[in-house]
């Protein structure tokens, strides 16, 4: 039976020759991830599975990033709970604030903890990020995380798939963020519900690994179970550079069955913005009339990587953030923070009038470091713009690439960098 890339990975981890869409399987796990919001709940559920120890202390990753550094007493309690569990269980991959910290979905690939062919679950919906390196990874609830930590396996309903054929080469100021916003705008936030978004085509070579992480990260915003990319030389080079485990490469069969096929020409894409209050509410920036903004956020697990910061700094260099606009820049990991410092990017941001933060999810989920008041508008490189996501229910969030975010911070309104003088 012909299978997609995702189906082959699930079959291998379920010990089966083949699987088919809709089938329920028990699959072995290569990694179980949790953060400071979801892990304490999983820790509370863990004893119910009758185990005193996790299945493998090297295959659990715990990252305090959502409300860390601790924003209040409740956040401190959550982190303390996770810290104590990590110490008790001798979890190898626990990443403390300030030591080796970062936003989880940027940190794990950087640390080489995910590789091609892996089967990964995380108690965070954007766990689908690791499809960028050819892994099957998906978000689960805290109870499923507890089960995974206990047994080292969990059940999945094998997803059907949508094939996304990428061609062409992107024009200036167009990035992976524009591709995924364009795709979500096409199919809607439930357009790939419980399906695998499988990206392929000759245009893949023109997408950097950071682009791929961004695209896979937001597969969930189209309702997908996961997003996944083929393992090409660029991917293999990335895995080697980050000392990842040896990859297991799976390729979709030529006659694999897909629910639908979508073609995207990178050369035809334009910088794209998602309007409130859904990621599917997209418009190209050239079609946007004057929309003044109060805040810009550049960072998150979607767009806080070094290439994102380089792009934003390129736009901001020699310019100033507009009066009345707050611009917050958040490098996604300590390593990225240091690299941005060494390259002079942080100096560029500070001189432009930005605030630069330690790595944290912070404002992305309305945690802290940039909460919006009633009536305020924010343009962010984050992944969700739901009602009240970043503060007051009567605030507004617009989603865009780092290039558009930086240009908009300078202009005080949503614009393309090409419009700056």
- 292 and 251 together in one domain: no
Answer yes or no: are the C-beta atoms of 328 and 364 closer than 8 Å: no
Q: Which long-range contacts (CB under 8 A, 24 or more apart) does 91-96 make?
A: 91/54, 91/57, 91/60, 91/61, 91/62, 92/57, 92/58, 92/60, 93/58, 93/60, 93/61, 93/62, 94/61, 94/62, 94/63, 95/61, 95/62, 95/63, 95/64, 96/64
**Residues 6 or more apart in contact with residue 146 via CB below 8 angstroms:** 42, 43, 45, 46, 48, 49
**Residues 6 or more apart in contact with residue 72 via CB below 8 angstroms:** none
Question: Which domain does 216 fall in, by range?
Answer: 5-265
- 148 and 249 together in one domain: yes
pLDDT at 122: 97
- pLDDT band, very low/low/confident/very high, at 187 (cuts 50, 70, 90): very high
Task: Single out the residue of 280, 301, 296 nearest to residue 390, CA to CA.
Answer: 296
pLDDT in tens, 257-295: 999 999 999 999 999 999 999 999 999 999 898 999 999
Answer yes or no: are the C-beta atoms of 388 and 368 closer than 8 Å: no
pLDDT at 1: 79
Mean model confidence pLDDT for the chain: 96
- 32 and 109 together in one domain: yes
- 226 and 324 together in one domain: no
Facing residues of 194 across strands? Answer: none
- Given 236, 265, 294, the domain boundary residue is 265
- 315 and 260 together in one domain: no
Per-residue pLDDT, averaged over 29-42, amounts to 96
Confidence check: pLDDT of 329 > 90: yes
- Coil, helix or strand at residue 125: helix
Length of the chain: 421
Q: Maximum CA pair distance of the chain?
A: 64
Domain count within the chain:
2
- 304 and 363 together in one domain: yes
Phi, psi of 116 (to 5 degrees): -60, 135
Q: How far apart are alpha carbons 122 and 378 in whole angstroms?
A: 28
Confidence check: pLDDT of 421 > 80: no
Facing residues of 139 across strands? Answer: 122
Distances (CA, A) of 331 to 116, 345, 410: 25, 10, 19
CATH of the domain at 306: 3.30.499.10
Rg over CA atoms, the chain? 20
- 144 and 109 together in one domain: yes
pLDDT in tens, 286-325: 989 899 999 999 999 999 999 999 999 999 999 999 999 9
Task: Single out the residue of 153, 126, 149, 152 nearest to residue 44, CA to CA.
Answer: 149
DSSP-derived letter for residue 413 is B
SS3 content of the chain, % helix, strand, coil (to 5): 40, 20, 45
- Given 198, 233, 265, the domain boundary residue is 265
Per-residue pLDDT, averaged over 110-117, amounts to 97
């Amino acid at each position: 039976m012909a299978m997609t890339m995702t189906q082959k990975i699930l079959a291998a981890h379920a010990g089966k020759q083949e699987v088919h869409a809709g089938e329920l399987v028990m699959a072995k796990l290569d990694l179980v991830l949790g953060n400071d919001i979801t892990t304490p709940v999983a820790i509370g559920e863990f004893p119910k599975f009758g185990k005193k120890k996790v299945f493998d202390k090297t295959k659990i990753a715990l990252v305090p990033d959502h409300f860390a550094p601790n924003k209040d007493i409740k956040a401190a309690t959550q982190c303390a709970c996770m810290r104590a569990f990590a110490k008790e269980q001798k979890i190898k991959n626990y990443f403390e604030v300030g030591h080796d910290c970062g936003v989880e979905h940027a940190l794990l690939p950087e640390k080489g903890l995910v590789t091609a062919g892996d089967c990964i679950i995380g108690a965070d919906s954007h766990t689908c990020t690791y499809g960028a390196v050819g892994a099957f990874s998906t978000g689960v609830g805290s109870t499923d995380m507890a089960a995974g930590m206990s047994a080292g396996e969990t059940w999945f309903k094998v997803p059907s798939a949508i094939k996304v054929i990428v061609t062409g080469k992107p024009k200036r100021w167009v990035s992976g963020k524009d591709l995924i916003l364009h795709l979500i705008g096409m199919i809607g936030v439930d357009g790939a519900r419980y399906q695998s978004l499988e990206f392929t085509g000759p245009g893949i070579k023109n997408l950097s690994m950071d682009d791929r992480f961004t695209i896979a990260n937001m597969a969930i915003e189209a309702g997908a179970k996961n997003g996944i990319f083929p393992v090409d030389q660029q991917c293999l080079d990335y895995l080697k550079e980050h000392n990842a485990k040896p990859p297991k490469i799976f390729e979709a069969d030529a006659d694999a069955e897909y629910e639908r096929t979508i073609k995207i020409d990178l050369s035809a894409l334009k910088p794209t913005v998602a309007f409130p209050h859904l990621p599917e509410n997209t418009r190209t920036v050239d079609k946007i009339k004057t929309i003044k903004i109060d805040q810009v956020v550049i960072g998150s697990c979607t767009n806080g990587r070094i290439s994102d910061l380089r792009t934003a700094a390129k736009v901001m260099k020699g310019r100033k953030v507009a009066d009345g606009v707050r611009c917050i820049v958040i490098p996604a990991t300590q390593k990225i923070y240091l690299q941005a410092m060494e390259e002079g990017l942080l100096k560029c941001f500070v001189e432009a009038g930005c605030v630069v933060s330690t790595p944290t999810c912070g404002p992305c989920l309305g945690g802290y470091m940039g909460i919006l008041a009633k009536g305020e508008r924010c343009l962010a490189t984050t992944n969700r713009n739901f009602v009240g996501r970043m503060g007051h229910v009567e605030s507004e969030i617009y989603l865009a690439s780092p290039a558009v975010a930086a240009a908009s911070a300078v202009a005080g309104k949503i614009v393309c960098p090409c419009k700056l003088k």
